[in-house]
Amino acid sequence: MNSAVLGYAAKAVGQELEQFSYMQPELKDYDVRVSVTHCGLCFSDIHAIDDYYSITTFPFVPGHEIVGHVSEVGPAVSGLKEGDRVGIGWQGRSCMQCEWCLKGDNHLCTDIADMGVWTPYGGFSSSTTADGRFAYPLPASMPSETAAVLLCAGIAVYSPLRSWATGRRLKVGIVGVGGLGHLAIQFAHALDYDVTALSSSPDKEGEALALGADHFLVARDKTVLKKMKFSFDMLLYTGHGDNDFTSLLRTLKKNGKMVMVGFPPQPFAFEPVDLVVYQLSVVGSFLGNRAMMREMLAFSQERGIKPKVELMPMSQVNEAIRRVKEGKARYRIVLVNEPERPGTGTD
Ligand SMILES: [Zn+2]
Ligand SMILES: [Zn+2]
């Protein structure tokens, strides 16, 4: 039913979220309606509230690490029924027609900017609507808050690590020990990399090692980075602050690559000549396709990979945003709709 639901929306660029009642979109043939129990808070939500990507329409209901129960299915949906617990990540649909969708890489859909689950309204709400092909059934014993974070932060770092894992103890440097980085360390360890965590905070050493890092470096220390010249086969950049990219890139072995899943706020500089003479690559990686998502969820369950999560009630969303902006979250915040609705949806 196309009923009214209650969410939290930014009414204009950069504003605090307010309670917002709205009519849900019509259910299309392949759509599912999901009664939201949990939704993670990702830095991309904050970027979108600030319209950093220039794609946000207001009022804007953020939220794209969604777990809940299917409350309604469109006539063409297969494999999902009312009551199923599912997870939805950033991608809520795709055109299914472009060259990328046709070859199964829907996350690279030509129209990707319009395909976020937050269009028209995201997961900071009692209910959301998405194409059922992007609603993933979850392993029964996986906690909802774990699944929520894996659906965006998890896939973002698993996909590049999995794509380049060759099983021979490649040396990877995980740059940044935060929401993305603390998961990347766990995945890289499980995928048999030799893992070095690089952080600007020396106090994260103990935790990084406990998560599975073999080594720890203070990334802002130029002399330390200098000593690491030609050390890594790969760097996975998970940060969102400024960094000394010239020094970082010089820690790569020849033919090495830096994969970016996070990015600094401004364009960054490095020595182009280093790329040429050391044959370095700087590449990006965006989420993953549906097969990779299913694999990542199963792998996480099998290997016990779990984000460290703080739970907060959905009504405290603005406080949660403040904590993330101030870098105080350890390491991800998941908002919970109270009371959690068991079994079947009630919309
Ligand atoms: Zn995200
Ligand atoms: Zn497409």
Instruction: Give CA–CA dist 43/84, Å, rounded.
Output: 28
- Is pLDDT of 342 > 90? no
Residue 46 Cα, ligand 2 centroid: separation in angstroms? 26
Cβ atoms of 34 and 130 within 8 Å: the answer is: yes
Q: Among the residues of 103-153, which ranges form H helices?
A: 144-149
- Is pLDDT of 340 > 70? no
Rounded to an integer, the average pLDDT of 338-342 is 59
Residue 325 Cα, ligand 2 centroid: separation in angstroms? 33
What are the tens digits of pLDDT across the range 274-322? 999 999 999 999 999 999 999 999 999 999 999 999 999 999 999 999 9
Sign of CA dihedral 132, 134, 139, 144: negative
Ligand number, closest to the Cα atom of 99 = 2
Residue 316 Cα, ligand 1 centroid: separation in angstroms? 19
Ligand number, closest to the Cα atom of 103 = 2
- Is pLDDT of 347 > 50? no
Rounded to an integer, the average pLDDT of 215-223 is 88
pLDDT-derived band at 345, boundaries 50, 70, 90: very low
Ligand number, closest to the Cα atom of 332 = 1
Residue 287 Cα, ligand 1 centroid: separation in angstroms? 9
Average pLDDT, the chain: 94
Q: What is the pTM of this model?
A: 0.94
What percentage of the chain carries pLDDT values higher than 90?
87
Residue 274 Cα, ligand 1 centroid: separation in angstroms? 32
Higher pLDDT, 338 or 49: 49
The pLDDT assigned to 344 comes to 40
Highest mean pLDDT, choosing among 215-229, 232-246, 304-318: 304-318
Ligand number, closest to the Cα atom of 97 = 2
Residue 160 Cα, ligand 2 centroid: separation in angstroms? 21
Rounded to an integer, the average pLDDT of 71-78 is 98
Nearest C-alpha neighbor of 155 from the set 110, 201, 97, 106: 106
Residue 79 Cα, ligand 1 centroid: separation in angstroms? 26
| Cβ neighbours of residue 300 closer than 8 Å, sequence gap 6 or more | 142, 146, 150, 154, 158, 306
Residue 107 Cα, ligand 2 centroid: separation in angstroms? 8
pLDDT-derived band at 220, boundaries 50, 70, 90: confident
The pLDDT assigned to 215 comes to 98
Distances (CA, A) of 72 to 18, 28, 328: 26, 11, 37
- Is pLDDT of 343 > 60? no
Instruction: Give CA–CA dist 200/212, Å, rounded.
Output: 18
Ligand number, closest to the Cα atom of 112 = 2
Residue 108 Cα, ligand 2 centroid: separation in angstroms? 7
The pLDDT assigned to 1 comes to 63
Ligand number, closest to the Cα atom of 154 = 1
Question: Looking at 111-120, 160-169, 281-290, 318-327, which range is the least confident one?
Answer: 160-169
Cα of 99 vs its chain's centroid, Å:
24
Rounded to an integer, the average pLDDT of 224-244 is 93
Ligand number, closest to the Cα atom of 111 = 2
Ligand number, closest to the Cα atom of 123 = 1
pLDDT-derived band at 24, boundaries 50, 70, 90: very high
Rounded to an integer, the average pLDDT of 251-275 is 93
